[in-house]
Amino acid sequence: MSPNEFTSQLRDGVSRFKNRLERDGWLRRGRDAWNWVREPLATIAVVLVSTTALAQPFYVPSGSMEPTIAIGDEIVAAKYAYGYGRYAPPFGSAKFMKDRMLAASPKVGDVVVFHPESDPGHAWVKRVIGLPGDHVQMLAGRLIINGQMLPLKRDGSGKVEDGDGLYRDVPRFVETMPDGKQHAIFKWETNGPLDNTVVLVVPQGRMFLMGDDRDNSYDSRVPAAEGGIGFVPMANLVGRAEFVLGSVDFLNAQTLLNWPGEFRIARLFKGVN
């Protein structure tokens, strides 16, 4: 049999098989099934790509970043800001990735989402205070970066929500970063357990992070072995916190039916500074 005859017979066989499938209704059912799953699959693909490459929302259950971020806020983190590492996928982690692709360093003062080594299964949010080589110290409740004590200005008082849903008034201050950018913090006292530290030098490839509620944040001032997070690897970055997508005071909503009444409209789309 010549190659041309073989090709012709093969083509005829495929045509007969296709006609039989068509006659028995299999092709129609296959097309119907594909049309039924195509849009959901496309939606899932778009969600996975966008939450991996662009941005992802994260729910905040604690108050360590008050007054910047409240308990019950859902913040959106921009993943493209610092590149893509092992925690870029929206579910789980890509443990095979040792380095970040398109890596960029955060700036001192950025509010970042990350996975601490002490709790790799959960995303945390803190403010960047020190980068590799920086010297960081707390002295009598004041933050010192590379020998410079950061300016602190009293800004009245603010309400801190405790884990039981109760609010209390605490002193509020405006802190000025070395580059001149300002953000609000809560400072309850000046001689607490985290208000005086030795000079801490940030190792290469790591960050020093702190919460804005300075007396209610176990952060880089506390080693991971003692319940803090220590120096956090750059590789564990997820993204930069950009804005609040929504916020519910769930601690004071006894049931799901009460949640609409505890929705904080004033925090809707509020930028994270």
Active-site residue flag, 2: no
Helix (H, G, I), strand (E, B) or coil at 178: coil
Helix (H, G, I), strand (E, B) or coil at 159: strand
Tens of pLDDT, residues 224-260: 999 899 999 999 999 999 999 999 998 887 777 776 7
Q: Which two tokens stand for residue 236?
A: 């564990």
Question: pTM (2 decimals)?
Answer: 0.79
Q: Provide, rounded to the nearest whole percent, the portion of the chain with pLDDT above 90.
A: 60
CATH architecture of structural domain 56-267: Ribbon (2.10)
CA atoms within 13 Å, Cβ hemisphere of 10: 7
Contact of 246 with 263, CB cutoff 8 Å:
yes
User: What CA–CA distance (Å, rounded) separates 202 from 34?
Assistant: 54
User: What CA–CA distance (Å, rounded) separates 193 from 195?
Assistant: 6
Query: Token pair 């700036």 is at which residue?
Result: 107
pLDDT of the residue at 238: 94
CA atoms within 13 Å, Cβ hemisphere of 12: 6
The single residue of 2, 62, 118, 126 carrying the catalytic annotation is 126
For residue 171, with 0-12 CB atoms within 10 Å meaning exposed, 13-18 middle and 19 or more buried, which class applies?
Answer: middle
Could you give the C-alpha distances from 6 to 12, 13, 17, 162, 181, in angstroms and in order? 10, 11, 16, 80, 76
Q: Which two tokens stand for residue 210?
A: 């702190």
The single residue of 8, 15, 18, 64 carrying the catalytic annotation is 64
Work out the number of other CB atoms within 10 angstroms of the CB of residue 230.
21
Active-site residue flag, 159: no
Helices and strands (H and E) in the chain: how many: 2, 14
User: What CA–CA distance (Å, rounded) separates 139 from 145?
Assistant: 11
Closest CA to 139 of 190, 202, 65: 190
Blockwise average pLDDT, block size 10, the chain, 273 residues:
53 58 54 50 40 71 95 93 84 66 91 94 96 98 97 95 88 97 95 94 98 95 93 95 93 76 89 93
The one-character DSSP state at 270 is -
Contact of 206 with 232, CB cutoff 8 Å:
yes
Beta-carbon contacts of 231 under 8 Å, excluding residues fewer than 6 positions away, are 202, 203, 206, 207, 208, 220
Q: Is 109 left (phi over 0), alpha (psi -120 to 50) or beta?
A: left
User: What CA–CA distance (Å, rounded) separates 217 from 68?
Assistant: 13
